[in-house]
Structure 1
Amino acid sequence: MKIYLVGGAIRNKILGLPVKDRDWVVVGSNTKFFIKNKYKQVGKKFPVFLHPHTHEEYALARTEKKNGFGYKGFKVNYSSDITLKEDLYRRDITINAIAKDKNGKYFDPFNGLKDIKKCILKHISSSFSDDPLRVFRVARFAALLFHLGFSIYKDTLCLMSSDYIKNEIKYLEKERIWQETEKAFRTKNPNIYFKVLFKCNLIEIIFPEIYCLLNLNKKLYFLNKKYFFRQNIFKSLSYISKFTNKVDIKISFFIQMFFLNIYFCIPNNSKFLFFDFFLKYINNFFVRINVPNKIKNLSIIFVKNINFLINIHNKSSKEIVLLFKKINAWRNPDIVEKLSILIDFYIDFLNIFYKNFFNNDISSGKYLKNVFKISRSISFKSINKNIKNGIEIQKKINKLKELAIDNWRYFLNKKIYKNKL
């Protein structure tokens, strides 16, 4: 029996990236070894075990033979005579098919080390097409390693673009699509993930709602279609990814930029109708690939209230308090923090194209956080204990919140005026 470190831990170590998980493959053994040594079995389709102390994953060497549809349509063989090379052969790309023994010696039958040096993402064999999930993984690795100069091998791109893959993708579970997409959003360049899928002509199949929104450029007037798609949309996702790694903020920003670019290119008499149309498609997108409600709700709240947030300096205190009530900020204060980040990123991004078009003495995001902090300081304790009616209590609290915001605004404007003198 021999045990080898495999996959991502080796790749990341060589590239100088953080090693989060270490996976091991066991050659020449069977399940009795793991049971005897008190490993915990977690794999259902094939045996994967957790080490009793390190909790790292150990799997028996195995082969996979296609016998159905999708990424589940495989017959697995994990007998003790499976070799290390056979196990590595079933993997997706060469840089993930490197093993290392306990003495630090590499086993690299498919030249993964060479491809790391060449910064190439390359499939191991034509059986790459058998698992449609690999398309998402390669697109994600292209995003993850883009800053290191990695690109996808031309023949691998051809396989990813094949009709066979397009048919296989239809059998993928929506949870798996979301998992890979979420991982892509956690990278420094999630825009590359979508660019790869777009280049492989897979957006229409994988994300039909996004394809529909992009396809509107055939019906609307744009000065330059490529500029609309590649520069505004992808550039905005690249921009925000430089400043935050939060998936919900990145997705909300991405969705809002779709709305912005299309909204300002449609006739005024159709803008209201487009708003409902857009929300419907985006909601369908979130539901279809099983995006968590926390992310979905932030995106929709941001789209619905973007104009209010931009102009929050000019909104009445009463309108601001009503906004906090509408977005349930009292019970979920994190929503205000995230909206403040989003609105400031949004305005900063627009100012790249429209120099200082939005130019306030205090940013909209900071303004939002300040008025929320002030209004939140008003509670049940602030009102007369003799008031018993629930509706009257709420009216009184809201009125006190409005007064508190009015007072803060008065002193803020006075301070700003004084500084300008």
Structure 2
Amino acid sequence: MTDTRIDQQINAYLVGGAVRDQLLSRTVVERDYVVVGSNVQQMLALGFSQVGKDFPVFLHPTTKEEYALARTEKKQGQGYTGFTCYSSPEVTLEQDLLRRDLTVNAMALDNQGNIIDPFNGQQDLRDRILRHVSPAFVEDPLRVLRVARFAARYHYLGFTVADETMALMSQISNNGELITLSGERVWKEIANALTEQNPEIFFQLLHQCSALNTIWPELDNLWQEESTTSNFANLAEVALANLTQAVKLTDKTDIRFASLCLAIPGLNLAASPQDITELASRLKLPKQTQLLALKATQLHSLVTDIKQQTPQAILSLFDQLDVWRKNEFFDDFLLVCQATAQAIENAPDQNFTAKDYLKTLLKQCKTISAQAFIAQGLTGKAIKSAMQAEKLNIITNYPFPDD
């Protein structure tokens, strides 16, 4: 906070992720505060603007950071929205922290720099353990996905999920409440997990606690599908290897997601075009995410076997990807192909010659201009036919480089 007048008139504590990441010496992305002993009228009088509908959350008049009145929650219905919140000046900081998911997220910092840690979050940070705060953990099915996401984020530091917390995650997965999560919410958690350093941990944990079977059964089934590639015992290992390699190549969520899809047999679009449409509908995928996964599953085999493709097949590949207008999309598609090729070969640093070859071909083909054929007197469809013939000529006479 920067306004001394406000500091003196409210009892505010920095809470949650900001405290956790500060203690882990990680960059603090956003700061959230809990205000104890106050009410809506006082907050508004101090210049805060209210934004919360289900419970009182306010934006600081200067910093625009979020300040929430201390509150408790009571489970009233199914799902992660089935809660009634109660806030009043009598709610204590410890009561507010008690409703949080993990001990490492249930710490607070006062304006003197003192840490309030009623549930031993600091010890769990030192022990690298993600542990639930209370048995009320099972009341919110979204916490299964959140814990898996935290495990993916902090895996590089050696964090693991406590056995007793994994047991509660399995309990939630088996009690049917995961189906109450909306597709939009599930995708948001998946998309966030895909941005982490080790997103494969997210999917591994969801499989282990039986949650993946509900939110993405096509992926979960891969643990029962034997791999034909000697490096992997099952197709789940293939999918996660694809993802791990994609992480090394790019931070783009769409590419990482598409790399997972390539290992799912049912998403071979030439054989079953409805599958990815159903997946996209269920998870409410963004259009670009869906399109890249669609094109990658349809066409990636052409790239991995590029030496065997005819000039006509390569030109058809270009046309199907609309490379003439979508340069960035083509680059993304090639990165998906590169990820899976390098993962299957277990050669993460191997040069992916097909990518450079196709990009060079495309650059050459784009030098062809309709104006030259118009000058020759061609019109209409004859111009397109002439341009296609010239592109085929370039592709035919441009040799694939030696490996």
1:142 aligns with 2:151: yes
Query: Which residue of structure 1 lines up, in the alignment, with residue 329 of structure 2?
Result: 335
One-letter amino acid of the structure 2 residue matched with residue 341 of structure 1: L
Distance of 1:165 and 1:89 partners within structure 2: 25
Whether 2:99 is the aligned partner of 1:90: answer yes
CA offset digits 1:26-80 (Å, max 9, x no partner): 1111222343344333322112222233222121111110011101111111212
Corresponding position of 1:246: 252
Structure 1 equivalent of residue 338 of structure 2: 344
Q: Does the 8 Å CA contact 1:166/1:205 hold for their aligned counterparts?
A: no
Deviations 1:182-214 (A, max 9, x none): 111111111111111111122222222323454
The residue number in structure 2 matching 1:51 is 60
**Equivalent position to 1:300, from 279, 288, 294:** 294
Say which is worse superposed, 28-37 or 83-92, in terms of deviation. Answer: 28-37
- Cα distance in 1 for partners of 2:195, 2:135 equals 29
Return closer, same or farther for 1:85/1:379 CA change in 2, 3 Å cut-off: farther
CA separation of 1:28 and 1:129: change in aligned 2, threshold 3 A: same
Distance 1:352 1:221 in 2: 14
Q: Deviations over 1:271-305 (max 9, x none)?
A: x9x9524x433332222011112111111211111
- Distance in 1 separating the partners of 2:253 and 2:141: 24
Q: From 228, 231, 236, give the equivalent of 2:237.
A: 231
CA–CA separation in structure 2 for the residues paired with 1:335 and 1:232: 24
Q: CA-atom RMSD, angstroms?
A: 2.9
**C-alpha contact 2:12 2:36 (8 A) present in aligned 1:** yes
Of 168, 171, 176, the match for 1:167: 176
Q: State the alpha-carbon separation in 2 of the partners of residues 92 and 293 from structure 1.
A: 32
Residue 26 of structure 1 aligns to a residue whose secondary structure is strand
**Is the partner of 1:64 in helix, strand or coil?**
strand
2:365 counterpart of 1:375: yes
User: In structure 2, the residue corresponding to 1:65 is in which secondary structure?
Assistant: strand
2:238·2:343 contact (CA, 8 Å) conserved in 1?
Answer: no
Tell me, yes or no, if structure 1 residue 290 matches structure 2 residue 299: no
Within the alignment, does 1:276 sit opposite 2:271 as a pair?
yes
TM-score by length of 2: 0.88
Per-residue Cα deviation, 1:239-289 (whole angstroms, up to 9, x for no partner): 332332211111111111234xx99xxxxxxxx9x9524x43333222201
1:302 counterpart SS class: helix
Deviation at 1:159, TM superposition (A): 0.7
1:210 alignment partner AA: L
Contact map agreement 2:101 2:137 (CA 8 A) in 1: yes
Q: Distance in 2 between matches of 1:397 and 1:114?
A: 68
Of 355, 360, 375 in structure 2, the residue corresponding to residue 365 of structure 1 is: 355
Q: Please state if 1:402 is matched with 2:379.
A: no
Count how many residue pairs are aligned between Structure 1 and Structure 2. Answer: 394
- Contact 1:143 1:184 (8 Å CA) reproduced: yes
- Equivalent AA in structure 2 for residue 282 of structure 1: I
Q: 1:40 aligns with which of 41, 44, 49?
A: 49
Letter in 1 for 2:383: I
- 1:390, 1:7 → 2: CA distance? 64
From 59, 64, 69, the counterpart of 2:73 = 64
Structure 1 residues 374-412: Cα deviation after superposition (integer angstroms, max 9, x where no partner): 2223333343247574322322332333344455x16x7
CA distance in 2, matches of 1:91, 1:284: 34
Which residue does the alignment assign to 1:131? 140
Q: Is the 8 A contact 2:245 2:340 kept in 1?
A: no
Q: Is contact 1:96-1:112 (8 Å) kept?
A: yes
| Larger helix percent | 1
In the TM superposition, residue 314 of structure 1 has moved relative to its aligned partner by 4.3
Judged with a 3 Å threshold, the aligned counterparts in structure 2 of structure 1 residues 230 and 394 are, in CA distance, closer, same or farther, namely closer
Which residue does the alignment assign to 1:118? 127
Percent identity over the alignment?
34
Preserved contact between residue 31 and residue 65 of structure 2 (Cα < 8 Å) = yes
Residue in 2 that maps onto 1:384 = 374
Q: Distance in 2 between matches of 1:225 and 1:374?
A: 37
Alpha-carbon distance, 1:17 to partner: 2.1
Contact 2:222 / 2:236 at 8 angstroms: preserved in 1? no
User: What SS does the corresponding residue of 1:124 show, helix, strand or coil?
Assistant: coil
Letter in 1 for 2:365: S
- 1: distance between equivalents of 2:301 and 2:227? 23
Q: Are residues 1:195 and 2:201 paired?
A: no
Q: Go from structure 1 to structure 2 and tell me whether the alpha carbon gap of 1:133 and 1:225 turns closer, same or farther (over 3 Å shift).
A: farther
